[in-house]
Structure 1
Amino acid sequence: MKSPSVEIISDCFIKPEIITEETNKPTYLSPWDYCMLSVNYIQKGLLYPLPKNQDQFNMTTYLDDLKSSLSTTLTHFHPLAARLATRKLENSPSFVVFINPENSPGARFIHGKVNLTIDDILGPNDVPLIVQSFFDHHKAIDHDGHEMSLLSVQVTELVDGIFIGCSINHMLVDGSSFWHFFNSWSEVFNSKGQNGKFSSFVPISRPPIIERWVPPGSDPILSLPFTHEDEYIDRPNPPLLRERIFHLSSASLSKLKSKVNLECNTTKISTLQSLSAVVWRSITRARGFPADQEVGCRLAINNRGRLSPPLPQNYLGNSIQALRHTTTAGELLDHNVGWVARMLHEGVANHGDKAIREYVDSWVKRPFVYKMNQFFDPKSIQMGSSPRFDMYGNEFGLGKGLAVLSGYANKFDGKVTLYEGRDGGGSMDLEVCLLPENMEAFESDQEFMSIVNGEIDI
């Protein structure tokens, strides 16, 4: 039987409701933004149930409200309605990439429909492949933002639900900025006046800081020393993966944190560091490496509060790095989980203003672009996103979402994405991508599944 596919019902572009002199200015990029030129767009979204009283729900009206509130939100987040542009420097092989609002039709808005139910999406153990069709810009990389919209919203109707998915160019946002935009859009949607309109004059609670950060003393307009796009474009081509979401209760995670800190005779190791240590061990065990094989764990870390002076949390753009920790498979598995968690904790604790500025200064001297086929190596894992982001606070008039799901983007063997748990209270959801043979071993790993099942012994 042929599996259902998403039917595109309508497709349009949305501009900021109010265009100002500031809106029409180009936005120049930071070193952290430039690194993302060959990375996929960020693709995240929420699945909602249709209102129980569907007689009072009109899809056309609902879509109009989403579009209007998006236009109002883009007044604040106007770079998301622009395009990328490249300018060659005179008498130099270098070029500048920047966010250009000129001649852009705006952010894209798609309405789609699929003959599937919520249970079809959330029922299977593995995330169904059809979920990738709930997002626009499938397999696009950030460089494609010269021609493609930098933000694309796709609203997909299911038989009994609605999925709202956002694809945003990773040169414009990291996870913090992605959810900042999503939260602000939800806030605007909920502010609909009695006249049925959304006011651009009502301030949002967290206005974004648009101007990009560059290290003091550097040219505010940074450039890349390449002569042809083949020197930096590297489209990711991951193998066929299995993708599962594991639900971890706050009680189970609290027990894990207590166990790890007890083993280390401290109270400083976080829940996230404790969980990352277990996941690293369990995936390494599932992969069956020899004892002398070097293995790695990358943790995505937010630099905003670690700089001195700190960047505002409302800073719109990338301000992240991936801290890589390495050891051998034998060392990782022979020691207890506390030993591993302490290693991760020390790396995070030592990542401050000095380390950040050294990294950025080295980029300014020798600019580079991440090549994802090299960045994700099959002997490491990468922990991405954060359970601290407000995901389930985005209701859009439909109540609390049922699940956070993601698209094709930036998934490789060993990519682990952390989400806020729907139950709140410190619960988490863990999206794990592995080769099929490794997933089979991982999902029966006793150490990891004891956390999933709440059977941790302290």
Structure 2
Amino acid sequence: MAAAVRVLHESQISPSPWLPSQPPQPLSFLDAIWLPNSVLVERLFFYDFPHPVSHFIDHKLPILIKTLSLTLHHFYPLAGSIRPSADFDDGQFEIAYEEGDSVTLTIAEFTGEDFHNISGYHPRNFENLRLLVPKPKKSSSCGQFPPISIQITLFQNQGLCICFAINHVACDGSGTMGFIRSWATACRSTEPTLHEISRPFLDRSIIIDTHGIQRKMFQHKRVFEEYLKKQDTLPVSDPSLVSATFTLCKDHITQLKERVQAKGEEEGKPLFHISTFVVTCAYVWRCLVKARAYDGDSQQYFVCVVDWRSRMRPPLPRNYFGNCLGGLMVELSTKELVGKNGNELAAMEIGKSIDGLRGRDVGEVLTTAFGRLLENERRKSLSVAGSPKLMVYEVDFGWGRPAKVEISSINETRAISLAESREEEGGVEIGLVLPEEEMNRFGKNFTCGLVDI
């Protein structure tokens, strides 16, 4: 039987207690840089739930709705809309909540595939995974679009999946996880109240565009949109696409770090940032480039974002809700990357780039990155979604830790996803979406490479 989803219930959840309209907030330039391609970040949390659908509807759904409404009282921008500001001539957008605004919550039932298969680590049909993602609501005629939509999909007597589709313009991963953790905490409470829900810091005016990034971005808007159209995004309807998750254990990460450090000492190079993130990205980048068998003279690019809250001067509150990300780009030739010491070279270059961000203004960093992005078509690039620091496996709504966490939107951005290992402290999970043959080649490279370290 083909996999399918049947919608059981759809609700519009508004903040509770009643919340009047709030003054709209202009998007900061760190929000606005996500506007041209309006990226949706789709996080899927799978939970074992060996109960009938009726049990969930009768006993769990009322609690989820009540606590979501309470959580939205503090995170009310998510219930609002992203829209052009009244003075649209300057290209400014804002995020606004008006009395009665709401978040769409869809309840659905999945049939045709086993829960433990679709939530596994092995290569799985990506089209089936996409059935768990809420269908995006079309923007209105005046250009408004919702910050978030949520779908809870039930697998009869097996489990459930909660998927959050959040527009990156609204917030980054840290902001997203602040909202999700707050909802989960309220859901576990016996008598949830507003006082138990952590308040986010919502004032976006605290971020100042010191380098005129937003103006430059809108000046180059047409060029940037053309660049995005040329990227090698994989069509969601491609039946050969599979999703898979690979794990680097703590011992492998330690060995990778030791090899990088030894290589640096051998070449007399100064110490630099050697972290779990750095060696993981370097190793996966090399395995992926080898799997794609690019021409040796071609150039490869690694792109990632960095949380800038603690790097701002003065630092932003850790609970700042919005976007606060800088970025970096590393360039190597295919020959360098797949060569004998490609792993160590990639790690050293990524580490040096991260060290090079220290003390710099985020506007300056993004000006450089934006200019490099527009110089050439970065077809052969790898980016990263998520982070082990977000601790996604700590999200417990009252029925235990997630059995699995995925980011399905990496297909749209040709990215890999990173999360902490569910089973071992210090390990890392890496998610990919690739055509099946390419995934098989990547898997062989990933496994064989670990034997050699």
User: What TM-score do the two structures reach when normalised by structure 1?
Assistant: 0.84
Displacement of 1:26: 0.8
Alignment partner of 1:72: what SS?
A: helix
| Distance change (3 Å), C-alpha of 1:142 and 1:257 | farther
Matches of residues 369-388 of structure 1 in structure 2 within 5 Å?
377-388=378-389
2:311 paired with 1:306: yes
Using the alignment, how far apart are the partners of 1:376 and 1:16 within structure 2? 44
Contact 1:306-1:351 at 8 Å conserved across structures? no
Aligned match of 1:72 in 70, 73, 80? 70
The residue number in structure 1 matching 2:207 is 214
Q: Which amino acid aligns with 2:201?
A: I
Matches of residues 4-153 of structure 1 in structure 2 within 5 Å?
4-20=3-19, 24-37=22-35, 38-51=37-50, 57-87=55-85, 89=87, 93-102=89-98, 105-115=101-111, 116-123=113-120, 125-128=122-125, 129-138=127-136, 146-153=143-150
The residue number in structure 2 matching 1:394 is 395
Alignment partner of 1:157: what SS?
A: strand
The residue number in structure 1 matching 2:358 is 352
The residue number in structure 2 matching 1:403 is 404
Aligned match of 1:330 in 335, 343, 349? 335
Using the alignment, how far apart are the partners of 1:230 and 1:341 within structure 2? 32
Q: Which amino acid aligns with 1:309?
A: P
Alignment partner of 2:330: what SS?
A: strand
Using the alignment, how far apart are the partners of 1:182 and 1:393 within structure 2? 11
| Distance change (3 Å), C-alpha of 1:228 and 1:382 | closer
Displacement of 1:66: 0.6
Alignment partner of 1:310: what SS?
A: coil
Q: Which amino acid aligns with 2:81?
A: R
Displacement of 1:56: 11
Using the alignment, how far apart are the partners of 1:74 and 1:154 within structure 2? 16
Contact 1:174-1:319 at 8 Å conserved across structures? yes
The residue number in structure 2 matching 1:439 is 439
The residue number in structure 1 matching 2:193 is 199
The residue number in structure 2 matching 1:284 is 289
Deviates more, 1:243-252 or 1:386-395: 243-252
Alignment partner of 1:273: what SS?
A: helix
| Distance change (3 Å), C-alpha of 1:11 and 1:56 | closer
Matches of residues 159-178 of structure 1 in structure 2 within 5 Å?
159=156, 160-178=158-176
Displacement of 1:117: 2.6
The residue number in structure 2 matching 1:259 is 259
Displacement of 1:119: 2.3
Matches of residues 220-231 of structure 1 in structure 2 within 5 Å?
225=218
Contact 1:177-1:317 at 8 Å conserved across structures? yes
Q: Which amino acid aligns with 1:271?
A: T
Q: Which amino acid aligns with 2:248?
A: L
- Taking only the aligned residue pairs, the percentage that are identical comes to 22
Alignment partner of 1:411: what SS?
A: helix
Contact 1:118-1:158 at 8 Å conserved across structures? yes
Using the alignment, how far apart are the partners of 1:151 and 1:78 within structure 2? 11
Matches of residues 404-419 of structure 1 in structure 2 within 5 Å?
404-407=405-408, 409-412=409-412, 414-419=414-419
| Distance change (3 Å), C-alpha of 1:142 and 1:305 | farther
| Distance change (3 Å), C-alpha of 1:228 and 1:175 | closer
| Distance change (3 Å), C-alpha of 1:413 and 1:442 | farther
Q: Which amino acid aligns with 1:154?
A: Q
The residue number in structure 1 matching 2:154 is 157
Alignment partner of 1:167: what SS?
A: strand
Deviations 1:75-95 (A, max 9, x none): 1111000012213538xx433
Q: Which amino acid aligns with 2:114?
A: T
Contact 1:385-1:417 at 8 Å conserved across structures? yes
The residue number in structure 1 matching 2:268 is none
| Distance change (3 Å), C-alpha of 1:40 and 1:375 | farther
Q: How many residues align?
A: 434
Deviates more, 1:411-420 or 1:7-16: 411-420
Q: Which amino acid aligns with 1:179?
A: M
Q: Which amino acid aligns with 2:131?
A: S
Displacement of 1:143: 9.6
| Distance change (3 Å), C-alpha of 1:145 and 1:216 | same
Using the alignment, how far apart are the partners of 1:431 and 1:302 within structure 2? 20
RMSD: 3.5
Displacement of 1:325: 0.4
| Distance change (3 Å), C-alpha of 1:223 and 1:441 | closer
Aligned match of 1:273 in 278, 300, 319? 278
| Distance change (3 Å), C-alpha of 1:339 and 1:380 | same
Alignment partner of 2:351: what SS?
A: helix
Alignment partner of 1:392: what SS?
A: helix
Contact 1:145-1:169 at 8 Å conserved across structures? no
Deviations 1:373-410 (A, max 9, x none): x9994312112210111211111111111100233x34
Using the alignment, how far apart are the partners of 1:230 and 1:377 within structure 2? 13
The residue number in structure 2 matching 1:246 is 246
| Distance change (3 Å), C-alpha of 1:437 and 1:104 | farther
| Distance change (3 Å), C-alpha of 1:449 and 1:123 | same
Displacement of 1:15: 0.9
